[in-house]
């Protein structure tokens, strides 16, 4: 027994020395900061890592666009403000039960890849080659969809526009401006000196005619603009960006509506010299007649781990009877609907064209519309 106690005592001494050694080693180790909180937002926090990740993404976008970065302190302040607002909106979405499924998120990621003319796999490679975590980007897209759902629910509750108000707006001067076509023009200016004589003016005119012939023969417009134009947008290849006709100089707005995409016009004489323009792109916002739409509300009842498909159907039928009996539809949607996005607005899905929903849903909408019309 005494021998056992001696062995136990010796073991405890060795254990104590080991713990002491580890403690002394830890006390001399360097402390490494893994992350830190930079803002507290109600029940959430904004971390330094989130700021760093978002700044890295923005810096990459700015560099790709060839633009100048704002000062670091200004950029950080803007990003933190955006992260705080996003956190508030995400918390609102979570309280409302808004959830984005992996399938829905995958569809969104595929859509972004297609916009960049890539497959999802090649898009992922491109993103990671730019030093951006694909997982972080995916999570950011999930948050943005959540935020969008919350904003849609809030706006649907607050904004109500009747047909007469819409018609009045479209017939107003502002409505005409908003719905006007937009043009993306390229511009080359060959300047004429203020004190130029007839011979000098003639030489510039001949030069502009020669340049126009070269462009019609296939010379690259943007390269030519960079090399020869004296216009303010020469370094951008003469690109004036998207503008409505009212935002263009009169001498351009008079001809732009008549031009086809890719067409050249000029030389156009002005007090500053001779101009050659090219219509790069055109997009229309004009209203082309009336489009029939239907305003729809719904209550979604889903089966789950605790509710069988039969039970879901019985609940849906029970709720329908309550609506027929006079209970407020919006109240039922807010309390019972499994679609958190529309539940926030009493089941309101807004105004939608035919073909927006799945065929079974469309069929019920059509049947309901026909009953009301009769």
Same-domain status, 49 and 150: yes
Categorize the per-residue pLDDT at 287 as very low, low, confident or very high, splitting at 50, 70 and 90.
very low
* The overall pTM is greater than 0.85: no
Q: Closest by alpha carbon to 241, among 184, 200, 203?
A: 184
**pLDDT exceeding 90 applies to what percent of the chain?**
16
Q: What is the domain-level CATH number for residue 142?
A: 1.10.4030.10
Same-domain status, 306 and 260: no
Q: What is the domain-level CATH number for residue 298?
A: 3.10.50.40
pLDDT in tens, 16-27: 544 444 455 545
Cβ atoms < 10 Å from Cβ of 125: 12
Position 336 in a domain:
yes
Position 174 in a domain:
no
pLDDT in tens, 174-199: 777 777 888 999 999 999 988 889 89
Same-domain status, 272 and 298: no
Categorize the per-residue pLDDT at 291 as very low, low, confident or very high, splitting at 50, 70 and 90.
low
Same-domain status, 255 and 309: no
Q: Give dist(CA 61, CA 75) in Å, integer.
A: 13
Same-domain status, 55 and 144: yes
Same-domain status, 258 and 346: no
Last residue of a domain, one of 262, 283, 304: 283
Largest pairwise CA distance in the chain: 124
Domain count along the chain: 3
Position 254 in a domain:
yes
What pLDDT score was predicted for residue 12? 47
Q: Closest by alpha carbon to 240, among 283, 280, 191, 192?
A: 280
Q: Give dist(CA 160, CA 80) in Å, integer.
A: 33
Position 28 in a domain:
no
What pLDDT score was predicted for residue 232? 83
Contact 221, 188 (CB under 8 A): yes
Full residue range of the structural domain in which residue 334 is found: 293-373
pLDDT in tens, 51-102: 888 888 777 777 776 767 777 887 888 888 888 888 888 888 777 667 787 8
Position 22 in a domain:
no
């Amino acid at each position: 027994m005494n021998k056992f106690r001696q062995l136990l005592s010796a073991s405890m001494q060795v254990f104590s020395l080991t713990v002491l050694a580890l403690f002394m080693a830890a006390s001399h180790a360097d402390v490494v900061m893994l992350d830190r909180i930079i803002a507290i937002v109600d029940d959430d926090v904004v971390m330094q890592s989130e700021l760093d990740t978002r700044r890295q993404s923005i810096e990459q976008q700015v560099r790709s666009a060839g633009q100048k970065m704002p000062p670091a302190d200004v950029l950080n302040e803007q990003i933190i403000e955006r992260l705080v607002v996003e956190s508030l909106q995400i918390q609102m979405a979570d309280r409302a039960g808004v959830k984005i499924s992996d399938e829905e998120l995958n569809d969104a990621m595929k859509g972004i890849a297609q916009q960049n003319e890539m497959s999802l796999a090649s898009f992922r490679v491109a993103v990671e080659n730019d030093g951006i975590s694909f997982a972080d980007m995916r999570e950011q897209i999930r948050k943005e969809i959540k935020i969008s759902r919350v904003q849609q629910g809030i706006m649907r509750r607050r904004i109500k526009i009747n047909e007469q108000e819409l018609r009045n707006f479209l017939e107003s001067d502002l409505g005409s401006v908003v719905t006007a076509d937009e043009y993306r023009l390229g511009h080359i200016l060959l300047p004429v000196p203020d004190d130029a004589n007839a011979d000098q003016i003639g030489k510039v005119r001949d030069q502009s005619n020669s340049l126009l012939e070269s462009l019609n023969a296939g010379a690259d417009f943007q390269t030519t603009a960079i090399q020869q134009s004296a216009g303010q947008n020469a370094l951008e290849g003469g690109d004036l960006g998207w503008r409505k006709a009212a935002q263009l100089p009169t001498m351009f707005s008079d001809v732009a509506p008549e031009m086809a995409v890719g067409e050249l016009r000029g030389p156009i004489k002005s007090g500053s010299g001779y101009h050659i323009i090219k219509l790069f792109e055109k997009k229309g916002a004009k209203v082309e007649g009336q489009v029939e739409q239907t305003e729809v509300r719904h209550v979604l009842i889903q089966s789950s781990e605790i509710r069988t498909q039969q039970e879901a159907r019985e609940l849906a039928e029970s709720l329908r009877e309550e609506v027929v009996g006079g209970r407020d539809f919006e109240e039922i949607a807010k309390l019972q609907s499994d679609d958190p996005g529309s539940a926030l607005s009493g089941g309101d899905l807004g105004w939608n064209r035919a073909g927006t929903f799945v065929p079974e849903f469309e069929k019920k909408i059509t049947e309901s519309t026909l009953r009301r019309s009769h």
